[in-house]
Amino acid sequence: MATDTIILKIKDKKKISFLVKLLEQLGFVDFAYNPGKKANSKHDFFKSAGFLENRNLNARELREQAWSRNR
């Protein structure tokens, strides 16, 4: 039997417990609540410093490789 999936983004965290209690009462709904970390976690730009340090690259070669790709 095929099932449908709905993804909810809860705007008001104060209402989560109400929603969970409501879904528990519905016999035709299976759900899992996994409180997680923020989706908008920011990348620390400075932790990437030096990741190309040991590569022999120059701007001209990089441009040639980028423009020669098949589109």
Q: Which residues, at least 6 apart from 10, have a Cβ–Cβ distance to it below 8 Å?
A: 16, 19
pLDDT confidence band for 18 (50 / 70 / 90): very high
Q: Round to whole Å and give the CA distance between 6 and 32.
A: 12
In whole numbers, what is the pLDDT of the chain averaged over residues?
81
Q: Round to whole Å and give the CA distance between 17 and 30.
A: 16
More confident residue, 37 or 31: 31
